[in-house]
Structure 1
């Protein structure tokens, strides 16, 4: 399959690696010049064992571009950029999207579907979520976290279409454990609520995900975030697929125990986080529906401060 991956971060590299290993034709789009140069020079390198040195990464060469302008056709476009980059990313690949080349949005955030649907027909969009985790390293390498976790894909109308079956087959054949589901939006909300508890708390405390379940104080804080998120979903008439978000949270922390969350990686790398598409989005839906979410609002404020204010550095 001819696949365009938009986004060369940790998850983009993970998907790229396995899809390349499965003999697909991959083009990876990324606007960061350092990432782009490393991809072009060294390909995508995967470290699957925590004990291995980064230099031992197994790599596959990949075609890497800063824009999709020169591309004329594809079978699938996989969107793996941060939520704040969705608009520009979809505009860049819009000429490729059609009935025979759907856009698979695989992002952890709310509002991306609405943004993408302003650029390309909604019927050409498929939604997905993944519980795969990884840490982006230098030279376009990625350290896989907690083994392969499941990925879910679904049509917006819940149908099991031929194109969905084809994508499901390709992903599973390449070693990406994938399942077709009918209620993909409900699953997306479950993931956003769960990671809106994990990501900001790990970023504020600056600890790996596994440490969050080792102290009662952090567990209590994350549970409060889950409870608020569940109330917002209820107010929006979202049917949450997972009956126990606490179990989902503990499972996610356990499987990515040694990983730094994406939000913590962003803070450490001094780049913008996805707080607006996660806790911020929950706050916006809460306000629209008259739900109080003080803990989520506090997380947004603290992360915004961390984005512009380095701890320990005196501000002028």
Structure 2
């Protein structure tokens, strides 16, 4: 399959390496010329999670470009960018999207599908997310992190030939994949859970597993989950999991040694996705007149972290 991955960050490199090693024709698209140059010269550099030596790298050759217009045709486009880049990234590949080449979002956040719909027809969009994780290292290297399922599905809940074909390709490449007929509800569940994990891990600067070791952090995460659930219920979202707190603890335990993506962004002086996670829950809440003070506080604190870096002038 000819696959274009938009976004050369940790998740884009992670999926790119799996799919390329599965003998698919993979092209990475990113605006970072340094990353794309490294991919062209050396491929994606895979560092296994079991090793601490970043020099023990397995190169995986891929194509890489900074201009989407250089790509003339493909069978699948995967959007793996931060939520604040969704609209621009979709525009960069809009000429490729049609009935024979769907656009699959693999993102954790609310509002991405709506942004994509403003650029390409809704019927050409698939939704998805993953519990796999990785850490972007220098150049085009990626360290494999937590194993986990990848979920994808049609927005209307149907199991179509195209979504089955993509799932088969993923599975053949070693990406554990499940087709979901309730993909929107599953996405809300993940956002609610990780909107509890991500900002708190960023503020405390600890791996995810530490969050379940203190009663104060457990209480705070549960409060965030409860507020998120109330917002979802106000919109009649079909939440797949009855016990989101159980999902929360499971996520923390399975990624116990991982730094959350939001904490990685803070440590690397990059903008976070706070607006697409806690911020999105706040926006949805406001439309229904629901109060979510804990989420509002998380947004304010993380935005302060983004602005105040060590060594920066405070006044």
Q: TM class, shorter-chain normalised?
A: over 0.9
Is 1:240 the counterpart of 2:239? The answer is: yes
Superposition map of 1:252-267 within 5 A = 252-267=251-266
Match of 2:50 in 1: 50
**Structure 2 CA distance for aligned equivalents of residues 142 and 212 of structure 1:** 25
Deviations 1:175-226 (A, max 9, x none): 0000111010000000111110111001111111111111111111111100
State the Cα distance separating 1:301 from its structure 2 match.
0.1
Residues 54-65 of structure 1 aligned to structure 2 (within 5 Å): 54-65=54-65
> Which string of whole-angstrom CA distances, capped at 9 and with x for unpartnered residues, describes residues 139-160 of structure 1?
21111222x2001110011111
Residue in 2 that maps onto 1:81: 81
Deviates more, 1:36-45 or 1:191-200: 36-45
2-structure distance, mates of 1:234, 1:248: 17
Offset at residue 90 of structure 1 (A): 0.3
Indicate the residue corresponding to 1:90 in structure 2.
Answer: 90
Q: Does 1:309 align with 2:300?
A: no
Q: Structure 2 CA distance, aligned partners of 1:132 and 1:251?
A: 14
CA offsets 1:76-103 (integer angstroms, 9 cap, x no match): 0000000000010000000000000000
Shift, 1:257, TM fit: 1.6
Shift of 1:33: 2.3
RMSD, aligned CA: 1.1
Summarize deviations over 1:223-253 as a string: whole Å, max 9, x none: 1100000000001110111111112112211
Per-residue deviation at 1:2? 0.1
Distance 2:211 2:33 in 1: 34
CA distance in 2, matches of 1:3, 1:168: 13
What is the CA–CA distance in structure 2 between the aligned matches of 1:9 and 1:71, rounded to whole Å?
19
Match of 1:157 in 2: 156
Q: Distance in 2 between matches of 1:45 and 1:220?
A: 40
Report SS of the residue matched to 1:189.
helix
What is residue 275 of structure 2 aligned with on the other side? 276
The alpha carbon displacement at 1:8 in A equals 0.8
Q: Provide structure 2 residue ranges, at least 5 long, that are not aligned to the other structure.
A: none
Residue 70 of structure 2 aligns to a residue whose secondary structure is coil
Q: Provide the secondary structure at the position in 2 that maps to 1:128.
A: strand
- Asked if the contact 1:158/1:181 (under 8 Å) is kept, the reply is yes
Q: Which moved more, 1:68-77 or 1:38-47?
A: 38-47
Q: Which residue is 1:20 aligned to?
A: 20
Q: How many residues align?
A: 315
TM-score by length of structure 2 reads 0.97
